[in-house]
């Protein structure tokens, strides 16, 4: 179980996260919000790449700052911005990441084959990354995030810049990962997560404005016709979350 307890983060005078408290159990969580809402800041704090100004993150009741390498071994992270090595092949990039994660030479071929199959990238594994489409690059990032079968997987906008067909494919890849894990996926595109998320967390200007299952939110925002409609009401009109449908 992952917990954020009263987490805040400021960049100079800008409040990027405002006293956020959340609990994540197993399942797929969709972190939904427009650009600048604080999604990447939250994910960077969850993954231990950024320290909060206030509050803490706990994994199984232990502050992640005390867990060190133990935390890194249960965590898989695909950051929003990542320089992929264009001259590397997909397989070489994964071998490199596997070595950084401490996966042994003996386990490596099997693990690479497993993660490549998970994201349907076996055929492209020996091509240079520079020749990959945006969707293939994203799938490779997801493949490195799931190496070593982490219990906690954090994917920051895995569908950014992809065409609709590629988005569906990524969505299916993420759904296939579920089962006994905590998976957190950020996006500003409702359809990326509506069909796969067990729970939706809506963030705006660094604050959590609502959370729940899609079905639960539909009951709450009575009269709204789907999550897209709720999103439009909550964000586009700058409302306070009260449905005006
Ligand atoms: P999102 O991922 O939802 O687009 P971010 O977490 O990247 O949101 O950003 C939240 C807010 O913090 C934005 O207003 C952004 O401009 C600001 N911000 C993010 N990173 C920095 C930084 N390194 N320095 C200053 N401001 C930042
Ligand atoms: Mg972001």
35 CB near ligand 1 (under 6 Å): yes
How far, in Å, is the centroid of ligand 2 from the Cα of 105?
34
Nearest CA to ligand 1 atom 21: 11
The CA-CA-CA angle for residues 182, 174, 221, to 5°, reads 75
Q: Is the CB of 226 under 6 A from ligand 1?
A: no
| Spatial separation of the C-alpha atoms in residues 96 and 144, rounded to whole Å | 10
Q: Given a cut of 90, is residue 212 above it in pLDDT?
A: yes
Confidence of residue 241 (pLDDT cuts 50, 70, 90): very low
Residues 6+ apart with CB under 8 A from 236: none
- In the predicted model, is pLDDT for residue 223 greater than 90? no
Phi–psi pair at 25, nearest 5 degrees: -105, -155
Instruction: Name the one residue in this structure whose structure tokens are 């609709």.
Output: 164
- pLDDT tens-place string over residues 194-209: 999 999 999 999 999 9
73 pLDDT more than 50 = yes
Determine contact, residues 9/52, Cβ cutoff 8 Å.
yes
Nearest one of 7, 2, 1 to 203, comparing CA atoms: 7
Please give the mean pLDDT across all residues of the chain: 91
pLDDT tens, residue by residue, 43-69:
999 999 999 999 999 999 999 999 988
The residue contributing the CA closest to ligand 1 atom 24 is 11
Around ion ligand 2, residues with a beta carbon closer than 5 Å are 39-40, 80
Q: Phi and psi dihedrals of 3, rounded to 5? A: -130, 135
Q: Residue 86 has which token pair? A: 């264009």
Q: What is the DSSP letter of 17?
A: E
- Which residue's alpha carbon is at the smallest distance from atom 5 of ligand 1? 38
């Amino acid at each position: 179980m992952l917990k954020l307890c009263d987490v805040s983060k400021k960049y100079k005078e800008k409040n990027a996260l405002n006293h956020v408290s959340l609990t994540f159990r197993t399942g797929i969580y969709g972190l939904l919000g427009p650009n600048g809402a604080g999604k990447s800041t939250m994910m960077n704090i969850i993954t231990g790449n950024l320290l909060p100004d206030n509050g803490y993150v706990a994994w199984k009741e232990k502050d992640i700052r005390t867990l060190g390498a133990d935390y890194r071994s249960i965590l898989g992270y695909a950051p929003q911005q990542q320089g992929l090595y264009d001259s590397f092949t997909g397989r070489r990039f994964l071998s490199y990441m596997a070595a950084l994660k401490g996966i042994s030479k003996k386990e490596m071929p099997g693990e690479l084959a497993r993660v490549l199959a998970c994201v349907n990238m076996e055929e492209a594994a020996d091509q240079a990354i520079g020749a990959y489409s945006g969707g293939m690059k994203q799938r490779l990032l997801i493949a490195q995030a799931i190496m070593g079968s982490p219990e906690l997987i954090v994917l920051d906008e895995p569908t950014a810049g992809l065409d609709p067909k590629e988005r569906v494919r990524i969505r299916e890849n993420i759904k296939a990962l579920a089962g006994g894990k905590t998976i957190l996926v950020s996006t500003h595109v409702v359809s990326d997560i509506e069909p796969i998320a067990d729970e939706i967390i809506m963030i705006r200007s660094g604050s959590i404005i609502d959370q729940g299952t899609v079905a639960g939110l539909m009951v709450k925002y009575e009269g709204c016709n789907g999550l897209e409609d709720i999103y439009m009401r909550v964000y586009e009109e700058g409302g306070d979350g009260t449905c005006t449908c």
